[in-house]
Amino acid sequence: GAGSVANTPEAGDVEYLAPVTIGGQTVNMDFDSGSSDLWVFNTQLSLNTLSGHMAYNPAQSSTFQLLPGSTFSISYGDGSGAAGNVGTDTVNIGGATVTGQAIELATDVSTSFVTDTQSTGLIGLAFSKLNTVKPVQQKTFFDNALATLPEPVFTADLRHNAAGTYEFGAIDSTKFSGPLAWTPVNTTSGFWQFTSQAFAVGGGAPSTSVPGGQAIADTGTTLMLADQSVVDGYYSQVQGAVNNATVGGVTFPCSATLPDLQIDVGGTMATVRGDDINFAPVDQTGTTCFGGLQATTVQPQIYGDIFFKSNFVAFNGGNNSLGVAPH
């Protein structure tokens, strides 16, 4: 059946957590459409590492089974990562249930995961070809659930500083305005990748072509990382915007009025609200603010939570497409 859970932004909308029940144990996890491993903090980790975290205890689950000899090791775009061993258990997300789901048990996690005490791990929702388990690659929760879901979809409804929803198996049309604009997904990279070749600022004339012209929909990335041409074009319209090497990206006066960004998603222009591009102050005085839109020098571009705060997104694993609408 379908399943729906509330998600909650951590402070500053840095990441969005939602409850997942594994072998009867409910933990909060980071739903990540930009990776394909489900890994958890668990009782194998040291007490120091576990301090402040919830943890999954396989010994307390009557349905846990170890996968002997299986290991995982994952690293993310920001240099963070985790590694460990693997078992299977029953996973239930708001009623959507999978038995025999690969549960990757971290025995090593990088610092940023240790300090992020509200998160018990990640649930990867990209394509299973990116899963890192060896010797036998494992499937994502969504892949395993596909055949049993009423509709082969999951949806992300992320909001600024407010509860939203992750839903499996249904599209709740009360969560967005107007029709969903559907775009085909190129699954070759293993990401939810689509064509994004143009942009406009504050309703101005659309740009011509953005180099590379590809982007992925990634709920596990906080910001929106776009080609330099998009970043330059956008911030040229923001008084006082500068590339601030010290803080590592574009900043502007917190008093600036930020224009909306229109960005191509498979041929339809989606809007990212200017307010959501004012990400956070960089100093205690709240004078200088850090942009939610930043540059990436690599392709594809990464449309993270900044994009999702203005756009409801449906991920269709039946025909490999993305549906986008303002919310």
284-289-295-301 Cα dihedral, nearest 10 degrees: 100
Q: Which of 180, 184, 204, 179 is nearest to 194 (CA)?
A: 184
Q: Taking a C-beta distance cutoff of 8 angstroms, is the pair 264, 196 a contact?
A: yes
Q: In what order do the strands lie in the sheet with 261-265?
A: 199-201, 261-265, 268-272
Minimum CB separation from ligand 601 for residue 69, in Å? 27
Minimum CB separation from ligand 601 for residue 263, in Å? 19
Catalytic residue among 35, 128, 196, 310: 196
Minimum CB separation from ligand 601 for residue 15, in Å? 6
Q: Is 32 a catalytic residue?
A: yes
Catalytic residue among 13, 32, 143, 276: 32
- Coil/strand/helix, residue 154: strand
Nearer to ligand 601, 170 or 185 (CB): 185
Q: Which of 263, 291, 287 is nearest to 275 (CA)?
A: 291
Minimum CB separation from ligand 601 for residue 204, in Å? 31
Minimum CB separation from ligand 601 for residue 93, in Å? 18
Q: Is 70 a catalytic residue?
A: no
Q: How many CB atoms lie within 10 A of CB 75?
A: 13
Minimum CB separation from ligand 601 for residue 174, in Å? 28
Structure tokens at 317: 């694993």
The residue assigned the tokens 């991920």 is: 315
Q: What are phi and psi of 233, to 5 degrees?
A: -60, -40
Nearer to ligand 601, 191 or 199 (CB): 191
Nearer to ligand 601, 75 or 173 (CB): 75
Nearer to ligand 601, 218 or 260 (CB): 218
Q: Which residues bind ligand 601 (CB under 6 A)?
A: 15, 30, 32, 34-35, 76-78, 80, 112-113, 116, 218, 220-221
The string of DSSP codes covering 82-148 is EEEEEEEEEEEETTEEEEEEEEEEEEEE-HHHHH-TT--EEEE-S-GGG---BSS----HHHHHGGG
Strand 81-93 relative to strand 96-109: parallel, antiparallel, unpaired?
A: antiparallel
Instruction: Dihedral sign for Cα 219, 225, 229, 230, please.
Output: positive
- Tell me which residues are annotated as active site: 32, 196
